[in-house]
Chain A
Amino acid sequence: DAGVIQSPRHEVTEMGQEVTLRCKPISGHNSLFWYRQTMMRGLELLIYFNNNVPIDDSGMPEDRFSAKMPNASFSTLKIQPSEPRDSAVYFCASRALAKNIQYFGAGTRLSVL
């Protein structure tokens, strides 16, 4: 298996622009997690899905952030409008519910100028 695939690996955008991050979980996994990592705040859970349904989005910082999982093989995290303080590395992870191990993608490094 190719593992969790995230795209793009790097994104540079200007303040106010819309940003869409993409994630393809491991085939057969039925939970998906979005994290944000910064030097100041470490690794933060933003939202997670079980069987494509959002279960807990309490970590989503503001209404500017939204996440969707239209099917078992794809999820997006959207920021609209983006702000410089959104600059961070965003990770997606997936897990098979029967096995309590999360597998991480390589991350998307977002820079908002």
Chain B
Amino acid sequence: AQSVTQLGSHVSVSEGALVLLRCNYSSSVPPYLFWYVQYPNQGLQLLLKYTTGATLVKGINGFEAEFKKSETSFHLTKPSAHMSDAAEYFCAVSPFTGNQFYFGTGTSLTVIP
């Protein structure tokens, strides 16, 4: 069975500060891992993904995430928050042999000027 846990439904950071959004997953087989971003009144956009290979994955808008198998984590980070980063962020897992995506409940990021 697959599941995704996003710790913290709301995260606030100051502009220029580090962004850290947490994601842990449970999976019986190595999964594919994703982060999506949702801006107000829009659909979900792919931010980055991990499939195989290098465990540090770089995405759009300066975001990156590191796959840590031992911790079953895929936390999203950005060194310096920008006002435009304010959005809802979803972590998702998909077994590489399967079809479905399993989404976390989302983390709403607020950036304080």
Question: Is this pair of chains taken from one and the same complex?
Answer: yes
The interface size of chain B toward A, counting residues with CB under 8 Å, comes to 20
Whether B106 and A42, one on each chain, are in contact in the complex, defined by CB atoms closer than 8 angstroms, is yes
Closest to A42 in B: B105
- Flag B86-98 by CB within 8 Å of A: 1 or 0 each: 0000100010100
Whether B49 and A101, one on each chain, are in contact in the complex, defined by CB atoms closer than 8 angstroms, is yes
A34: interface (CB < 8 Å): no
Given A91-B44, A104-B43, A107-B43, residue A42 in contact with residue B103 (CB < 8 A) = yes
- Flag A60-104 by CB within 8 Å of B: 1 or 0 each: 000000000000000000000000000000010100000011111
Give chain B residues whose Cβ lies under 8 Å from the Cβ of A103.
46
A50: interface (CB < 8 Å): yes
Give chain B residues whose Cβ lies under 8 Å from the Cβ of A43.
90, 103, 106
Whether A91 and B43, one on each chain, are in contact in the complex, defined by CB atoms closer than 8 angstroms, is yes
Give chain B residues whose Cβ lies under 8 Å from the Cβ of A48.
99-100
Closest to A50 in B: B99
Whether B43 and A56, one on each chain, are in contact in the complex, defined by CB atoms closer than 8 angstroms, is no
Given A91-B44, A101-B46, residue A31 in contact with residue B106 (CB < 8 A) = no
User: Which B residues have a C-beta under 8 Å from some C-beta of A?
Assistant: 32, 34, 36, 41-46, 49, 51, 90, 94, 96, 99-101, 103, 105-106
User: Which A residues have a C-beta under 8 Å from some C-beta of B?
Assistant: 4, 31, 33, 42-43, 45, 48, 50, 55-56, 91, 93, 100-107, 109
A-B contact pairs, 24 of them (CB 8 A): A4-B43, A31-B99, A33-B101, A42-B105, A42-B106, A43-B90, A43-B103, A43-B106, A45-B101, A48-B100, A50-B99, A55-B99, A56-B99, A56-B100, A91-B43, A100-B32, A100-B94, A101-B46, A102-B46, A102-B101, A103-B46, A104-B36, A104-B45, A106-B42
